[in-house]
């Protein structure tokens, strides 16, 4: 009985850890705790500028790859990720 109890709680702890590990799942969980139901977006609801950026990155990845191009893409993605994280953090604080 104790082993079963331990396994169940271990499973819950692992699930909680995985939820809190990812910024997206952590944010969604925090919204849920505060009674906010996130809107389920579809591709047609997404920001057209953001979608254009993604398409440009995909086009660059389809081109013949050189180390410089891949580094540029990696830098671009990291910068965009930081921008979006800051925007999301500000939105949560509001």
Nearest-CA neighbor of 79 among 59, 57, 62, 47? 57
Is residue 60 within 8 Å of 52, Cβ to Cβ? no
75 phi and psi angles, rounded to 5 deg: -65, -45
Query: How many whole angstroms separate alpha carbon 35 and alpha carbon 89?
Result: 18
pTM: 0.47
Give 2-18 pLDDT, tens digit per residue.
999 998 999 999 999 99
Nearest-CA neighbor of 57 among 88, 81, 24? 81
Domain boundaries, the chain: 1-37, 47-93
Helix (H) or strand (E) holding 55: helix 48-62
Give 19-38 pLDDT, tens digit per residue.
999 888 888 888 888 888 77
């Amino acid at each position: 009985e104790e082993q079963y109890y331990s396994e169940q709680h271990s499973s819950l702890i692992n699930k909680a850890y995985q939820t809190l590990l990812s910024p997206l799942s952590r944010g969604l969980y925090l919204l849920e705790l505060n009674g906010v139901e996130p809107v389920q977006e579809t591709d047609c609801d997404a920001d057209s500028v953001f979608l254009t950026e993604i398409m440009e990155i995909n086009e660059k990845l389809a081109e013949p790859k050189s180390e410089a191009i891949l580094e540029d893409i990696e830098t671009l993605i990291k910068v965009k990720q930081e921008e979006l994280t800051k925007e999301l953090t500000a939105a949560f604080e509001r």
